[in-house]
Amino acid sequence: MVTQLVLVEAVPALLEVIQVNSTSSSEFGREEENESPREKKISLSPSHARDIHEEEKAEADCIIADDGETELDEKEFEWSDEEEDVKVSNLLKLINEEHNFWCSEFGGGVTKADVVRMIKEAKENNAKAKQKKLDESRSFRGYYWISGEAAEEALGGVLCHKSKRQKIIPPNLVGDYQCDKRLLHRVGEDNFIGLVEGNGDDYLEKFGKLSEKLKGMQILNLGGVSVTGKDYADIAGRYKCLPLKLLGKQCPQVLKESVFFDTKFVLLLLKNFSKFSKLENKEGHNFPKQLLNYFGEDNVSNVDADHIYFPFNLDKNHWIGVCVDCVVSTVYILDSDVALHNDSLISKEVNPIAQLFPYFLKEVGLVHLPKELKSFSVERPKNIPQNGNHADSGVTIVLLLHAHAIGGFEVCSSITADVLPAVTKKLAVMMFEAHYDPL
């Protein structure tokens, strides 16, 4: 509408043709004569404007008024419709010559992966913004303070009911029923927090009873593994590095997307490396049935695992934890004493595992694998709490594997040397009660 007004102001001849919304006499010939006429709608006819332009009959009024003093040069208000651009001319010339262009010759722009990433980030930001608004709407905006002394006086004579409900979810409940992953995470987290931060008085009393029992027990049977009473006492005593057979069966199994294997699994896997490394076609290697049974009919749920955990012994003197992340094809090393072995030695020891695992997982039917198989990458994070006591490495690794399965490296930060004296006693009691009568 604004453009039409400007054109009419500059070229009045455009108003010579007017379209009027008037009624026909045939339809309303009998209407009363004194009826007020309808308003006329004025619009410009594009065809009429084109005719005026071609016939050069229109007189245009100069919008820039001539004050009679300043002379206006009409050439200053003229410009050519097309300006020559050297870059455009060169580009057209190269196109006509069928020149091969490369992506590196064009700056800027984004790749398809960048577009997918930006869309994903935008969706996540929108979801966080909506969740933030929802949390703010539910939050309590008022603040009230009550004196602690007044509260004690008011509630001093009131008999409070103490709940007998357990503060953690019993693991047996999860084993008997099919539960959501969020509940499984909570089970593992509750039991882990109870182990690390729970009240230790009960466990100290139980550990005293356990120490007396161990004096009269030469051999303990822990899930099919025979351990001497002296070796078992070393869990809490922390006098020497835990033996291989004792550590192999004690990793917790609480999360369905995480699988914990024993030390026997590692030994069976590494026995294949010598033969595997000599093959040109790595996919033609057949793993032994004893190793495949870890994902067999009795353990078919292991195929859906995202993370596979197991302990690994270095030089028979130091334990490290191994986490195979099947989603990102990475082997993470959980080491509580990184100063003891350098990265090159760790890579030499763990690289056979990284090379064997993708082909082993393909044979057992794991779904989180790329089409083109290649060796997994090896990473040793430096943010793991450090402990220079080699005798603590076994217990520390059990706790680190459990912590990482629950909340990643953030939860691993709670496994410090300060908590080990109390935690080792709790762990010894829990392991004993899992295979024998409660203390």
pTM, entire model: 0.50
pLDDT at 211 (0 to 100): 76
Residue 209's alpha-carbon distances to 61, 203, 205, in angstroms, are 110, 10, 7
Identify the three-state secondary structure at position 245: helix
Q: Which of 370, 355, 263, 259 is nearest to 308 (CA)?
A: 259
Those residues with Cβ within 8 angstroms of residue 23's Cβ, 6 or more apart along the chain or in another chain: 38
Task: Provide the residue ranges of all domains of the chain, joining segments of one domain with +.
Answer: 1-23+38-64, 173-435
- CB within 8 A of 309, min separation 6: which ones? 251, 258, 259, 260, 261, 321, 322, 323, 324, 401, 404, 405
Three-class secondary structure assignment of 170-229: CHHHHHHCCCCHHHHHHHHHHHHHHHHHCCCHHHHHHHHHHHHHHHCCCEEEECCEEEEH
Residue-level pLDDT at 323: 92
* The pair of three-digit structure tokens given for residue 396, joined into one six-digit string: 């520390």
Strands 318-325 and 330-334: antiparallel
pLDDT given for residue 393 in this prediction:
85
Angstrom distance (rounded) from CA 320 to CA 346: 10
What is the model's pLDDT at position 371?
73
pLDDT at 397: 87
* Cα gap 21→402, rounded to integer Å: 83
pLDDT (tens, 9 = 90+) of the chain, 439 residues, equals 667 777 777 676 666 655 445 444 444 444 445 555 555 555 666 666 667 666 666 666 666 666 666 666 666 666 666 677 888 888 888 889 888 877 667 766 677 778 888 888 898 888 888 777 666 555 545 545 555 556 666 656 555 555 555 555 555 554 555 555 554 445 444 555 555 555 555 667 777 777 777 777 777 776 666 777 777 666 666 556 666 555 554 444 444 578 888 888 989 999 999 999 898 888 888 899 899 888 887 777 787 788 899 999 887 788 899 999 888 889 999 998 988 888 888 888 999 999 999 899 888 877 666 777 889 999 998 888 898 887 888 888 888 888 888 778 877 887 888 888 777 777 777 777 777 777 6
Per CATH, the number for 173-435 is 3.30.310.130
Angle between helices 229-237 and 201-215 (to 10 degrees): 150
Task: Give the list of residues 6+ apart from residue 347 with CB closer than 8 angstroms, or none.
Answer: 378
φ/ψ (deg, to 5) at 330? -135, 140
